[in-house]
Every structure is written in C-alpha cells, then in structure tokens.
Structure 1
Amino acid sequence: MVREGWEVPGRKAVVTWTTIWIVALNAVKAWRYGTEGISEWPRLRMNTKNQCGGSFQSPINITTSAAIFDSSLGPINFLHYREALREAVIENDGHTVTITPTRRSKAFVTLDDLPGVYKFKQLHFHWGDKSTQGSEHRVDGKSFAMEMHLVHFNTLYDSTEEAYEHPDGLLVVAVLFKIEKHGNRAVGSVVKAIRRMNKRADRQVQLSQFASLADLLPQKPSLSYFYRGSLTTPPCAEAVIWAVLKNYEKVSESQLEVFRHLQAEETPVGTLHLVNNFRPSMPLNGRRVYKNFP
C-alpha cells in the first residue's frame, strides 16, 4: 500500500555500512539545545546537507484520534532482540547517552508492509530536568519523562550518505517512559554504567554484557504509530520512518536523577548538567500518522 506522505522509492542491494552518528557528529562543529540553540539549527554550516528547516521534521505530537489504522502494516517484528549485547560501549557525547555494540549485533526489525531489513546500530535517550518533560514525541499533547530511540539502518542501501537521500533509510523505534516507583530493571543497568562514568569523570565506559534489548521494551511492543520524519538532531536528515510504540515503559525518579547528573559539554562558565536534551514538536505539514492496531 502506498500511503500519502510516505512514499518509498526504489532500493539497491547492500554493500557496507558506516555509522550515521559519526557522520552527524563530524558534520556539525557545535550545536546546542534550548530555545535559542534549536532555532539556530537550520542555519548551521556542515559538510552534509542540513535539513533542519525541512518540511518533514521530527519529533511530532501524535493525535491519537487522527491516526489512521492500516491493517496491512502488520506488527513490528523484533528479531534477536532477546539476545544480550555481550560487548557494547556506553558514551556521553555531551548531548545524550548512547549505547553502541562493539561486536556486530544480530538484532534487527522488519515490518510486513515495508520491504527491507533494518539492522540495530545504537540506542540513546532524551530526558528533562523534571519529570513532566523530557520526551521528544508527545501523545495528545502530553510529554513524558524520558524517551529512548532504537536506531536501525536499512541494509538495502550502499552507504549512510545514500540512506540520507531516501525516506526509508532508517527506522527508529521510540519508547516513551512514564514515572513509576519501581523503574525498568534494564534501565537500572544503564544507570549503573552512568554512575561509573560520573564517578570517574569518563565520557565512555565499556560494557562486558548488557541486558537484552527486549528488556527495554514495553508490553506488546509490536503495536505502534508510524510516520515519515527526520533525525531529531543536526543534520536532521529526512530519512527516517518512525515507529512510536503505543505502550509505555517505566522509569523511576531515582533512575532519572542519575541521567540528570551527567555532564554536558564544557562551557566558558564551567560544566553543566545534561538535561532537557529534547527537540520540541515540529509541524506535520500534511503528513499522515498511521497505526497498526484498531
């Protein structure tokens, strides 16, 4: 089925992959969050195409009553998600916390109505200085305490640069987190690693074994909202199919406090805590939001 606002062009066979985050970080000398910082993104000079002022930007506010049920989408298939990440690196890059496998992960996702295999490459988080904000996506105008992005690459393209040119180059699974007294156990293992970084003032810590990706997902993770969008950080490439999961995961206040004590990038007035690393909702500009559940 061809969906309005979600056209997918022809594809090519896979050759190799480079990491999109390396390209993104090398492409931009400096960028900031906050109202003033984000307003500058469309004018940033970089060595790749800057699409931060484009028409198909992310995140968005999802109006559930306007989402279109499409039975042909089928469930999201999470394959090899229950296998532990035996070797990974957790890193504070000054904008977020990323977890990236150092040994090739077998995890990938597919969607019945979307040709291609999307290989898992990394995950990262967005959070606020208080629990009433932090997520990038909103649902019916409501923000959540934290949002996790599981980034997957379409193996049908030859390179990251080529994927940037296509609306199905990446598939990012977004998980929204609500505050509960007892948080997610897998998030707890992330928190332990962050504490190690904070204690040692390190930016990067090796993880000998990390919980399975499935442990970070909510109940019935195959149910989702879908739309065509972009990366939520510069260069904001409009190359993403977003899957914002219907159900929420949990995080505790104590777990979030550890995230909030991460160090942001060095500034002339000292080191700031890394908080409010989220982009506000962007206009839909005629795009449709679909869902795979009635």
Structure 2
Amino acid sequence: MKPLEFRGHDVPLHNFTVDNDGLSPDKTKRTVQGGHMQGTFEFRYAQFHWGSTSSQGSEYRVDGIAYPMEAQLVYTRDNYAAVKEPGHKYSVAIMATLYQVTFVDFDSVRAMRSILEVVESTTSTRGHRSLRHLLPWMVRRLTGHGSDADKSFPLTLHSLMPQADRQKFYTYRGSLTTPPCTESVRWTIFSRNAFISEALPSLRAAWWLEREIRSDLASL
C-alpha cells in the first residue's frame, strides 16, 4: 500500500473562518491521497471535541482510554463540494487526531498557550462572550489580521495532526458523528497523538457558553 500523501498541509491557513460548526479554510487547495483513500480528497473544514475534564472529551477511545481533546479534519472527494449531500459512496474522509496532556514544551503546546493567552485576555476584559463572536476575534489576533492584531500564529493542517509517523492509523468505513450522520465516511484515526497542555481548563471555561460537552461515541 502506498503511503498517505498530504498536499498543501504545510501552507499556513489565512482568511479562514471559525464558528460553532468548526474551522473553514481559505481558497488554497489542500488534499490527501494514497494509502487506503481510493482517490483524492480535498479538505473542507475542521471540528474539535473536548470534555469537562482531562480524562474525557475525545469521541474515540483507544484500548479503553479516552483523551482530553480530538481534532477532526473533514475532506470530500475533490469533485464533491458538499459534505451533507455526497454523490458517491464513501465520498467523505475524516482524519482524526487524539490529543494527550503533556508538560513538555512541544510546538503544539506553545501554539495552544498563545491561543489561551488570547482567550483569557478576552474573557477577563470582556466577560464571557458567545463562541461565535469570540473565535473570529481570537483568530484575527493570532494570524495578524484585523486592527487589534498583535500576534502571528502560522496555523497549518499539519499542526493539527501528529508531528511524527502519520502513516500509522486505524481505519474503517462509517458515518458522520454529527447530523446529518451521512453513511459515506472513510474514518482514519492516527495511532500517534498530538499534544496539549494542562491549560485546557482555561479553554473550557472561556468557551462554555455555546459548547455542549459530548460523551465518547466510539472505541477502538
């Protein structure tokens, strides 16, 4: 089997949007192919799941272990634009990364620390705000866009994935875990983890307003 090939995943995300439904990209084409993919799939959006404590939050468990956060990158075959109305069996692919807590200063931890600094400064000076309003403001700060920008954060799709050995994973054919629960999804769950710091409680506290704490839905 050929290795997975990621194209455009090192290109920084600019002018993307973030709201309660997840992160939507700019106009740059980012694709994955090879391996078990049976075609070329183009990135559409990302969504994140976290829990009320660091011992839960991910939709997937591995060997009975839940993780504090999970990032899901959603792709469709490059000739299908809509996830909700796919025109081909298995026309949606989702790459899931499980995050574990660490005290080591990895790049992903430093990136999350920068995000949390912005979140905490926002909530301390403006009080709790709707997630729909908080996240776009935060992203403008981190990417250098907007009049109040004072940080630069080179967010890429690879920064949301494991930093090593992306060729090891679990895979199966299933459905979306959120409405409309489309049954045309090729799931890929990386066996290596990404990392997040114990500052995650600040993220939970800042985004509590419109965030439903989800229980685990699947085990591997």
Question: TM-score surpassing 0.5?
Answer: yes
Structure 1 residue matching 2:111: 3-state secondary structure: helix
**Structure 1 residues 215 and 159: alpha-carbon distance in aligned structure 2, compared to 1, 3 A threshold:** closer
Residue of 169, 179, 183 corresponding to 1:224? 169
Following superposition of structure 1 onto structure 2, how do residues 213-292 of structure 1 map, counting pairs within 5 Å? Answer: 213-218=157-162, 219-265=164-210, 274=211, 276-281=213-218
Q: Does 1:116 align with 2:33?
A: no
Residue of 102, 105, 112 corresponding to 1:180? 102
1:133 paired residue number: 56
Q: Which moved more, 1:180-189 or 1:231-240?
A: 180-189
Structure 1 unaligned segments of length 5 or more: list them: 1-71, 266-273, 283-288, 290-294
Q: CA deviation at 1:178?
A: 0.6
**What one-letter code is carried by the residue in structure 1 that aligns with 2:96?**
A
Structure 1 residue matching 2:199: 3-state secondary structure: helix
CA distance in 2, matches of 1:122, 1:185: 23
CA distance in 2, matches of 1:100, 1:194: 20
CA distance in 2, matches of 1:173, 1:88: 19
**What one-letter code is carried by the residue in structure 2 that aligns with 1:184?**
V
Q: CA deviation at 1:221?
A: 1.7
* 4+ long deviations beyond 6 Å: none
Q: CA deviation at 1:113?
A: 4.3
Cα contact 2:84–2:182 (8 A) shared by 1: no
Cα contact 1:105–1:120 (8 A) shared by 2: no
Structure 1 residue matching 2:204: 3-state secondary structure: helix
Q: CA deviation at 1:153?
A: 1.2
**What one-letter code is carried by the residue in structure 2 that aligns with 1:104?**
K
**What one-letter code is carried by the residue in structure 2 that aligns with 1:263?**
W
Structure 2 residue matching 1:106: 3-state secondary structure: coil
Cα contact 1:191–1:259 (8 A) shared by 2: no
Q: CA deviation at 1:233?
A: 1.1
**What one-letter code is carried by the residue in structure 1 that aligns with 2:102?**
E
Q: CA deviation at 1:92?
A: 3.1
CA distance in 2, matches of 1:186, 1:228: 32
Cα contact 1:148–1:174 (8 A) shared by 2: yes
Q: CA deviation at 1:155?
A: 1.8
Q: CA deviation at 1:197?
A: 6.5
Q: CA deviation at 1:193?
A: 5.7
**What one-letter code is carried by the residue in structure 1 that aligns with 2:92?**
L
1:37 paired residue number: none
1:169 paired residue number: 91
CA distance in 1, matches of 2:180, 2:122: 28
Q: CA deviation at 1:105?
A: 2.6
1:100 paired residue number: 24
Cα contact 2:54–2:68 (8 A) shared by 1: yes
> C-alpha offsets along residues 142-178 of structure 1, whole Å, 9 cap, x if unaligned?
1111110011111234754541x64412110000001
1:7 paired residue number: none
Give the number of equivalent residue pairs. 197
Q: CA deviation at 1:280?
A: 2.1
Cα contact 1:221–1:247 (8 A) shared by 2: yes
> C-alpha offsets along residues 104-132 of structure 1, whole Å, 9 cap, x if unaligned?
13211112343322111111111111111
**Percentage of matched positions with identical amino acids:** 28
CA distance in 2, matches of 1:191, 1:123: 19
Cα contact 1:226–1:241 (8 A) shared by 2: yes
Provide TM-score, normalisation by structure 2.
Answer: 0.77
1:152 paired residue number: 75
Q: CA deviation at 1:76?
A: 2.0
